[in-house]
Every structure is written in structure tokens, then in C-alpha cells.
Amino acid sequence: MVGAILSVAASMASVMLGCLDGCYCIITEALRIHPSTGLILERCTPKGGVTLHGKYIPEDTIIGVNCWVVNRDKGIFGDDAHSFRPERWIDRDPKDVARMRTNMFTFGAGARNCIGKNLAMMQLTKIIVELYRNFQITLVNPDKTWKVSGGWLTRQTDIVSVLRQFNLQLRARGE
């Protein structure tokens, strides 16, 4: 009996972890394809300047990269880099996935990586799981193109959706 219970528990845990893996892939892909930062992440070149890709850049020059450009690099994310495809995070060689994670620029990189990244990912995962656990979400106009306005932070508009709460009622044992 205990073996059967443990087997069912292990099976359920496997399914739940699979769902969390899927959720993580969807969130990661959404952040890759639509990072919130719209402007370049600026840096100043060091004293004495720097040579990048064979070009000398004098000291104190503001340089930077744009998340939207890096996150769509076909050399990193594949020929379908402009497509929303969450499977890319699980159906590739683990070395390729590690390379994609290293080069995804949504939260910055290196010494200036966003210190709130782990907290943000935890909050996003919790929110997405709870939203889809409690609501059926549908777009009012699924064929309508979203409007994206740029700036330091990008904003999306014209995404009208309907949330219908599931009629689940939890009762305490013995009620």
C-alpha cells in the first residue's frame, strides 16, 4: 500500500514539475521575445578606451546594446529567433540551452545583471500559475495586433482579454 501511495505521489510530482518546467519555458520565452527594457543598457568605456570587434572606442564613450536585438540573434537562438517558441528551452542540446540562457539579455548581464531577477522570476511564475489555475483567459480580438510603445520601459496596449473565474469550491475535511 505504501509503495502504491509513493508511486502515485512520485507520478503527481513528476507531472507538477513538468507543468512548472513548461511554465518556466513560456515565461522565459515571453521575456526573451518581449523584454521590458526598450532602450540600450548603457556603459562607459574604461580608462584608455577599448577595442571591440577590431574597432577602437575612446575612454568615457557611452556604448550599449539593446535587449530586443540581442534576444533575437539567430546565431544564439536559432533561425526562428523572431518567433515565440517556448520549446526552444527544452528541445535543444543542453549546451545550446545553457548558451541561450547566458546570452539572454532581458535582465542585463555580468556585473550589472538585475539584482531582482530571481525575485521577478519567482513572482512571474507564481502569478502565471495562479492566473491560469483560477481563470480561463481569452482575448477579445485574438487577431488584433498589439501596440507596443518604446522608451526605457516598453508598454503594450490593445490587449483586451476576458477572465472567467473557475467555479471551484474548496471545503475543509469533514464538512
Residue list, annotated binding site for heme: 114
For the annotated binding site, the residues are 114
Residues 103-133 as b/e (b if ≥16 CB within 10 A, e otherwise) read ebbbbbbeeeeeeeeeeeeeebeeeeeeeee
Instruction: Single out the residue of 24, 36, 60 nearest to residue 114, CA to CA.
Output: 36
Residue 95's contacts (CB-CB under 8 Å, 6 or more residues apart) are none
